[in-house]
Amino acid sequence: MIQKRLLQNIFIMLLLTPLFSHAQEVLVPLTGNPVLQNILVSPAGKLSEKTKASNGANAVTLPFYDDFTYSSVVPDQSLWSDWHVFVNSDFAYHSFNRGVATFDALDSAGNIYSNATFAPFEADRLTSRGIRLDSIFTPQKRAIVLADSVYLSFYYQPQGLGNSPQPADSLLLQFLTTDPVPYWVTIWSEEGMKLDTFYTKYGTYSRRVNIPITDSASYFRSDFQFRFVAYASLSGDMLPSWQSSMDHWNVDAVKLDLNGRSNDSTQKWIGFAEKAPSMLKSFYSVPYTQYSAEPTAFMADTLSMYITNRYSENLPARYEYQVLKADGSVVSSYNGGNNTIPPFLSNGYFDFQPWGKPPVRSIIPIDPFGVQDSAIFYIRHALRGDESLPNSVGLGDTIVYEQKMTDFYAYDDGVPELGYGLTPAGAQLAVRFALTKADTLRAVRLYFNKVVANANQQYYYLTVWDDNNGTPGRILNADTILRPTFADSMFRYTQVTLKNSVPVRNAFYVGWVQTTDDNLNIGFDRSRDNQNNNFYNTDGTWQRSQFPGAIMIRPVIGKRLLPEADNPTLNKSGMELWPSVWNQSGDVNVVINGVVPQAINVEMYDLSGRLVLSQQTESRFRPDGCREGAYVVKVRLTDTGKSYTHKLIIIQ
């Protein structure tokens, strides 16, 4: 009955579709940045005054360097005077460094610029603080002269994993001159292009630019400033829900210093260029009960590690990884041994197989008795310089992946780079999920992108299909008609609990049948290719998606729905720690209900209940002196007295 009624509706919708409508699936850029919208903006809609107040007034002395590897989503305010760009580790593609500043057509609050047009307009910019380019101060103060060879260098990349800037768009580097009046002079520029065009043109995915500063009269001042400016343009369609804007550029490793050379790489650093990977071969997360039934069906054979050396000479190091339980105890480990990493500029990523493709030699522990319905493990990757050699002392990097397995499947990493949509009315979307044992589908989590004027607030039928030889078959459930909804916090899914749970076995599909031509604009993650499991139907025939990536739909299965406290991707309020795994570098940032607090009291307890840290601060803290392991962090808001708790893992 369900299938017959829905098929009748689909036929009617397709029949009524205007003749000029074109059946298609389309990827579109995001029209908002939920991180900036939720982290930087207070409930009153204004940027946090504490964030503004953190902008120091002191001029920066040489060397000026920023590689954007810190946890904050805004640029380091001791170096930069604005916060229009988005600092992240998600939008770059094959960069030499983990962390970039991403330029797009969204303002500092994460919304499309009010001056946005279909012609190129000035969008994001990144402006340095005043820099003492008149003098150096170590080993002793003296004036800077032309013989010092002052250079500004940086890496850049169009598109990355996001949207490609159009040929009329551009990225500019400008210097501020004051003669006769202050104005910005364009020193360098690049026109927009797709990433594959960029690679064909330059032979690299991330290009380095070196700018010599030779006009001493104009720029060797005590208040020198430079900035990057992106010009973007709206893309559009007849339907408002398809109109969008992004035009991504990624900028990294910005350096201003003396004695620069065209091949200068004096920033001595070895480390990981991308985030830590999941140990599952196709998923970021799977239900723990499904994993425990057949773990080899999910475990990867090898991991992909991107290791780089920024220095101009070979650097010796060692690599290893460990699998840890939530309490910090070691489950298993892998020692990749010692080797020498050549410079990235001449050799690219280090392709030594025991490091670049380390084997997964054991499974993550299972629950053979079926008592546990969730588990969390941490995979810590460590790269350390050879302490016996002077040029390697103190070098190293650590990254951690939180392998969470509760009650849901996740092909995506939780961060959308683009939006996915279909047209016309009656179009169907289905994502395939395979089971290791029969189970029960109880809910579905979806992440929809917010769009201009809420144009994607259109009805659709949430639909479940069984498997028919590798494509969607019989409809199992289609009684739920919905419109896209949005959570109150960043990158949070909304959960639709099914009125009637659905028994599933072998494989099943979750998706929708839409009722209008509008793009529903669901989140699309490009970090992992799930193309073979994404299907669409616009003309009566199921086809695999043409786009590599993952549609952000997560089915929830099991004997029961776990409480929201066990599912952080659903929390509508509460505390977040960023990062939740601290590697003894940088600050731990606190966010309460999606807002940066003004003043807090922080207490930290080890698992025995012993208080190990207590301090008053604004919105961040450093647990210096605490040993490796798991801790409970209690935060009390000074103004309201409300308290929140969260787990923190400390690693070396």
Q: Are residues 299 and 325 in the same domain?
A: yes
CATH of the domain at 613: 2.60.40.1930
Question: Which range marks the domain in which residue 161 is found?
Answer: 28-50+57-258
CATH of the domain at 376: 2.60.40
pLDDT at 21: 45
pLDDT at 594: 63
Domain termination residue (choose one: 377, 406, 435): 406
Q: Are residues 361 and 235 in the same domain?
A: no
Q: Are residues 392 and 435 in the same domain?
A: no
pLDDT at 573: 47
DSSP class per residue in 584-635 = SSSPEEEEETTB--SSEEEEEEETT--EEEEEEESSEE--TTPPSEEEEEEE
Cβ density class 178-197: b for 16+ within 10 Å, e for less: eeeeeebeebbebebbebee
Reply yes or no on whether the pLDDT at 46 is more than 50.
no
Q: Kindly list the distances between the CA atom of residue 434 and the CA atoms of 249, 287, 333, 411, 567, in Å, as whole numbers in the listed order.
A: 37, 11, 29, 12, 21
- In this structure, the strands spanning 207-212 and 151-158 are antiparallel
In a domain, 13, yes or no: no
pLDDT band at 273; cut points 50, 70, 90: very high
pLDDT band at 116; cut points 50, 70, 90: confident
Domain termination residue (choose one: 352, 377, 406): 406
Q: Are residues 542 and 582 in the same domain?
A: no
Domain termination residue (choose one: 523, 557, 591): 557
Query: Which tens digits make up the pLDDT trace of 234-264?
Result: 765 545 565 555 789 999 999 999 985 445 5
Q: Kindly list the distances between the CA atom of residue 64 and the CA atoms of 267, 493, 562, 642, in Å, as whole numbers in the listed order.
A: 11, 39, 49, 41
With the C-alpha atoms ordered 470, 475, 476, 481, is the resulting torsion angle positive or negative? positive
* Cα(81)–Cα(67) distance, integer angstroms: 16
Q: Specify the number of domains making up the chain.
A: 4
Please state whether the peptide bond connecting residue 18 to the residue before it is cis, i.e. omega within 30 degrees of 0: no
Q: Are the C-beta atoms of 385 and 317 separated by less than 8 Å? A: yes
pLDDT > 90: percent of the chain: 57
Q: Are residues 122 and 180 in the same domain?
A: yes
In a domain, 16, yes or no: no
Q: Are residues 72 and 159 in the same domain?
A: yes
Please give the mean pLDDT across all residues of the chain. 85
* Cα(225)–Cα(254) distance, integer angstroms: 13
Q: Cite the beta strand spans of 515-610 per DSSP E.
A: 522-525, 534-537, 543-544, 550-551, 553-557, 575-578, 581-582, 588-592, 600-606
Q: Are residues 339 and 392 in the same domain?
A: yes
Query: Which tens digits make up the pLDDT trace of 629-651?
Result: 888 898 999 888 888 888 888 87
- Give the residue carrying structure tokens 């007295």: 641
* Cα(376)–Cα(353) distance, integer angstroms: 28
Reply yes or no on whether the pLDDT at 39 is more than 90.
no
In a domain, 132, yes or no: yes
In a domain, 151, yes or no: yes
Q: Cite the beta strand spans of 435-549 per DSSP E.
A: 439-446, 460-468, 471-482, 494-504, 507-514, 522-525, 534-537, 543-544
Q: Are residues 517 and 551 in the same domain?
A: yes
Residue 5 is classified by DSSP as H
